[in-house]
């Protein structure tokens, strides 16, 4: 297979995810869904389940409106609508790390309408101390008990292996990020987003193998000449590559991201500790943070570091409409960036998707300002 064929495989995995997962379920695979990447997938995998990230995607919202208000983010509304239509009937359960009021509430609404064997929310600590680590370890052990209750099996060795597998995946994707910082990635940022999304819905073993196979084709292809303005995208969940494609369509480059469908999901690849559970706790304590977990001021130096490494000259904030953590951080973060000479623009993703005409006008103005 050449590089193009690998990229097609990732696209195909994203496109065919409902059928693939339904078939897997029919063949005996037991699948657990999650909304937020703070959900410790390693525990789910170690217990013998396949963790997949629940998707939203553009869909006409009809039935969900009888259950949820219209002032929650499109992602949660879309996923609810799909669930009510039976699109997630292959799921055995949902496990959710508490990072978002809406995701917490939606999980409980799903519980009342979508029959599954388990719904479990994990309270995640905000501080990093010996006590908070002990608490988090206890919460993870409780999760194991819940998974055992529905037929899961767990061993320390299995967790060790799951941690190694996910570390391998994260290292491989982060290598792609390093190539992108160096201007040596032989495909677009939109393709990279697709690769990330494929990882949410594929078996990790297959995903890792596909990434490994693709690695052999990365050095041989000639990377495109860097052109246009380098941009960093920061925000919550970006499901549709359309925004990136529009930016790239103008001849500019997305060179870095601070997305939960991006860097935040992969960094760091692993944690340290003598036993597997400690390593898992350590990784989640040291994650590249989401605004739901930390203060805006803590994110600024991290964003500046990303900007420094990637050479980004402007930031596009891409928010799901009504996303409180991001909206609440925005004034402080954008002001801090502006004071350091980095301009930014906000794009809100609404239920109708990207308003392309309006978006193009705003982006053109933003790029003209950056070019001036």
Sign of the alpha-carbon torsion through 238, 239, 241, 246:
negative
Q: Counting contacts by CB under 8 A, is residue 71 touching other proteins? A: yes
Nearer to other proteins, 39 or 310 (CB): 39
Yes or no: say if 296 and 333 are a contact pair by the CB < 8 Å rule. Answer: yes
Count CA within 13 A, CB hemisphere, residue 177: 25
> With binding defined as CB under 8 A, does residue 154 bind other proteins?
no
Phi-psi region of 353 (alpha: psi -120 to 50; beta: other; left: phi over 0): left
The minimum distance between CB 367 and other proteins, in angstroms, equals 21
322-351 binders of other proteins (CB under 8 A): 322, 324-325, 327-332, 334-335
**Please, what is the minimum distance in Å from the beta carbon of residue 287 to other proteins?**
14
Neighbours of 294 (CB within 10 A): 15
Residues 75-134 that bind other proteins (CB under 8 A): 98, 100-102, 104-106, 108-109, 111-112, 121, 123, 125-127, 131-132, 134
Say how far apart CA 265 and CA 97 lie, in whole Å: 13
Measured distance CA(264)–CA(287) in Å, rounded:
7
Can residue 226 be called a binding residue for other proteins (CB under 8 A)? no
288 binds other proteins (CB under 8 A): no
Contact pattern from residue 24 through residue 63 relative to other proteins, giving x for each residue in contact according to CB under 8 A and a dash for the rest: ----------------------------------------
Give the up-direction half-sphere exposure of residue 336: CA atoms within 13 A in the CB hemisphere.
Answer: 15
- Determine if 304 is a binding residue for other proteins (CB under 8 A): no
CB of 160 to other proteins, least distance (A): 23
Beta-bridge mates of residue 91: 31
Binding other proteins by CB under 8 A: which of 211, 293, 306, 366? Answer: 293
Cα of first residue to Cα of last residue in the chain, in angstroms, is 43
Q: Of residues 253-272, which lie at the interface with other proteins (CB under 8 A)?
A: none
Contact 163, 277 (CB under 8 A): no
The H or E element containing residue 255 is strand 253-258
Interacting residues toward other proteins by CB under 8 A? 66-69, 71-72, 98, 100-102, 104-106, 108-109, 111-112, 121, 123, 125-127, 131-132, 134-135, 138-139, 142, 292-293, 295-297, 321-322, 324-325, 327-332, 334-335
């Amino acid at each position: 297979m050449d590089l193009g064929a690998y990229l097609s495989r990732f696209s195909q995995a994203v496109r065919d995810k409902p059928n693939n997962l339904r078939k897997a379920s029919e063949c005996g695979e037991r699948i657990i869904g999650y909304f937020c990447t703070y959900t410790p997938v390693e525990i789910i995998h170690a217990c013998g389940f396949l963790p997949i990230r629940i998707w939203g995607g553009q869909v006409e919202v009809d039935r969900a409106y009888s259950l949820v208000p219209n002032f929650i983010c499109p992602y949660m509304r879309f996923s609810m609508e799909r669930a009510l239509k039976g699109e997630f009937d292959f799921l055995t359960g949902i496990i959710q790390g508490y990072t978002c009021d809406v995701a917490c509430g939606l999980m409980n609404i799903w519980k009342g309408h979508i029959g599954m064997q388990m719904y479990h929310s994990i309270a995640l600590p905000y501080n990093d101390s010996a006590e908070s680590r002990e608490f988090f370890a206890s919460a993870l052990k409780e999760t194991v008990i819940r998974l055992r209750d529905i037929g899961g099996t767990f061993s320390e060795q299995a967790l060790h292996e799951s941690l190694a597998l996910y570390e391998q995946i994260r290292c491989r994707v982060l290598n792609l990020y390093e190539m992108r910082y160096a201007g040596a990635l032989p495909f677009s940022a939109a393709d990279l987003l697709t690769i990330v999304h494929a990882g949410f819905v594929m078996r990790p073993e297959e995903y890792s193998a596909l990434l490994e196979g693709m690695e052999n084709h990365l050095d041989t292809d000639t990377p495109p000449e860097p052109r246009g303005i380098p941009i960093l995208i920061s925000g919550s969940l970006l499901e549709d590559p359309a925004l990136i494609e529009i930016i790239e369509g103008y001849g500019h480059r997305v060179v870095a991201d601070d997305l939960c469908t991006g860097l935040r999901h992969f960094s760091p690849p692993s944690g340290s500790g003598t036993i597997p559970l400690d390593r898992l706790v350590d990784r989640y304590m040291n994650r590249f943070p989401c605004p739901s977990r930390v203060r805006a001021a803590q994110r600024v130096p991290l964003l500046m570091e990303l900007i420094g490494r990637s050479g980004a000259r402007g930031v596009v904030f891409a928010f799901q409409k009504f996303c409180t953590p991001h909206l609440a951080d925005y004034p402080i973060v954008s002001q801090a960036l502006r004071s350091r000479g980095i301009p930014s623009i906000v794009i809100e993703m609404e239920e109708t998707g990207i308003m392309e005409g309006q978006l193009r006008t705003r982006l053109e103005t933003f790029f003209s300002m950056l070019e001036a």
